[in-house]
Chains A and B, each alone.
Chain A
């Protein structure tokens, strides 16, 4: 168990910069989720932390020790891979024991660890099977077991749930969270699924194009996204974004002339304004005027797509639908729900 610090880590592949000056400090016992779209660099970052790839610059420090130059075997880090990467020619027991065997742990201790770990993960009845005889979820657990056996200082999970079907994914998500509560090992978890990110992490780092866009708790990322990218990436359905103009008095006006709200301090001219679907309400006194173009009931709630003329927005309503397609409506936006971003940099203004 240890804290992890990344200082100025960057990576180039040839002339392409894949990671730009990554700085992360992760206290001991935290569960950090690295989330971002494909190609954002999260897998590369994982490989650098694990020692599978060398950074082009910067330092990786684990538990106070600089491990930047150390090989993957010497870092006391375990990783669970997306494809589980189990040794196909070995039994489950041999798979779990392998890292211990490589460190010359005596057989008795190895067997005892295998028993303990497999019992914890409820795979102790599978110890003599080969990976090809196991289901996806079972292989997942064996991979976790192998990672646990070493009692490492840092756990890395590289999109471990993406190969599972939906229901299993939800079950395993909870298991991983429970596992973390039990063992308390510092963990970094990579995913492209923002629901996983929100539910699993004590902290989230949103990555895009090799840069950290925001590193904060899930709540903060959701309620105060640091820039436009984070606001649009996190949240399902996505945040509604408006092109607006701010005048000298702070009034924010939409292209059709409707006033959506005010921003006390900020630049004059073009800005982006974001409002989450759940904050919008169809009300007769709403600021925005439009026409319902689509109604999507999902069971517990209903999403209404409203065409405002210059853009289309999503409004979340609880329960079953009570509006009709094509109806003219007005949509209310409360002041506190506005997220205002600079039009050029995308940075948060409020």
Chain B
């Protein structure tokens, strides 16, 4: 945009007012979650959601982490937090690695049907996952992986390949052609070209892929709800279990603390990753 901005001084005040207003609106749910997670229950019930705590207590957090009733066991979120990690880390690593290889092969070699393969990979990103629930459940059963964390890892890898391949393929497609050509002329073969030229220069897209996959896998609910059992719930399923199936007294403060615990890792990744998060979002949408 040109140097002299389009709005004059009076409008600038209006501009900032509107922006701050929306910012407050957007921040509100997070504020509510945090503020009410440290209030005792009677204060929530008698007071209003937006006010700061009159009595400050960490008990809801302790409950959420290790004491809350989830399903039949009163273990809090801790074991499920661990499940999510055990599920997410291998899922991220394997799907990113596969995506990198796929992107490499699809861009650096003339492959008959490469466009078709890529289109089919891309489409897999958009499908409603409801359509694979039934056969996947059967498959996991046959493999004796139903209701296990490795089963979830497999599922997330399979349905993550589309995304990661998309990231790496677009990244390598924009890689300078002359570098590749001169490496080939220097005699670099299949593994050398990848390991010595492309991979060392793939830092940014690896970060994007890791962030995106971690966020998606950690935040997933549908696969978790469909393919895990009480021992292998990821934290999202545990959270929903805690909130939706609590009979009798609803401990809102514990729910809020639990929600924040469930959301903290991806929120932390988001805050730390800045522009890489945005790149991941953009990579699937506008071309180039």
Q: How far apart sit A81 and B107, CA to CA, in the bound complex (Å)?
A: 38
Q: Is A238 part of the contact surface with B, judged by Cβ < 8 Å?
A: no
Name A's interface SS.
Answer: loop
How many residues of B are counted as interface, with CB atoms below 8 angstroms from the partner's CB atoms? 3
B 1-45 binary contact with A (CB < 8 Å = 1; else 0): 011100000000000000000000000000000000000000000
Q: Is A220 part of the contact surface with B, judged by Cβ < 8 Å?
A: no
Q: Is A176 part of the contact surface with B, judged by Cβ < 8 Å?
A: no
CB-CB < 8 A to A90: which residues of B?
Answer: none
CB-CB < 8 A to B4: which residues of A?
Answer: 52-54, 71
Q: Is A47 part of the contact surface with B, judged by Cβ < 8 Å?
A: yes
A 18-37 binary contact with B (CB < 8 Å = 1; else 0): 00000000000000000000
How many residues of A are counted as interface, with CB atoms below 8 angstroms from the partner's CB atoms? 5
User: Total A-B residue pairs with C-beta atoms closer than 8 Å?
Assistant: 10
CB-CB nearest in chain A for B8: A71
Q: How far apart sit A54 and B3, CA to CA, in the bound complex (Å)?
A: 9
CB-CB < 8 A to B2: which residues of A?
Answer: 52-53
Name B's interface SS.
Answer: loop
A 62-84 binary contact with B (CB < 8 Å = 1; else 0): 00000000010000000000000
CB-CB < 8 A to A71: which residues of B?
Answer: 4
CB-CB < 8 A to A53: which residues of B?
Answer: 2-4
Tell me how far the C-beta of A149 lies from the nearest C-beta in chain B, rounded to whole angstroms: 21
Q: How far apart sit A265 and B3, CA to CA, in the bound complex (Å)?
A: 50
Tell me how far the C-beta of A10 lies from the nearest C-beta in chain B, rounded to whole angstroms: 16
CB-CB nearest in chain A for B3: A53
A 322-350 binary contact with B (CB < 8 Å = 1; else 0): 00000000000000000000000000000
Q: How far apart sit A71 and B2, CA to CA, in the bound complex (Å)?
A: 13
CB-CB nearest in chain B for A44: B3
CB-CB nearest in chain B for A52: B2
Q: How far apart sit A61 and B271, CA to CA, in the bound complex (Å)?
A: 51
CB-CB nearest in chain A for B2: A52
Tell me how far the C-beta of A208 lies from the nearest C-beta in chain B, rounded to whole angstroms: 23
Q: How far apart sit A52 and B1, CA to CA, in the bound complex (Å)?
A: 11
Supplied contacts A52-B3, A53-B3, A71-B4, 4 more A-B pairs, CB within 8 Å: A52-B2, A52-B4, A54-B3, A54-B4
Which A residues are within 8 Å of any B CB, using their own CB? 47, 52-54, 71
Which B residues are within 8 Å of any A CB, using their own CB? 2-4
Rank and list the top 6 A-B pairs by shortest CB-CB distance, nearest first.
A53-B3, A52-B2, A54-B4, A52-B3, A53-B4, A52-B4
Sample of 10 A–B contacts (CB below 8 Å) = A47-B3, A52-B2, A52-B3, A52-B4, A53-B2, A53-B3, A53-B4, A54-B3, A54-B4, A71-B4
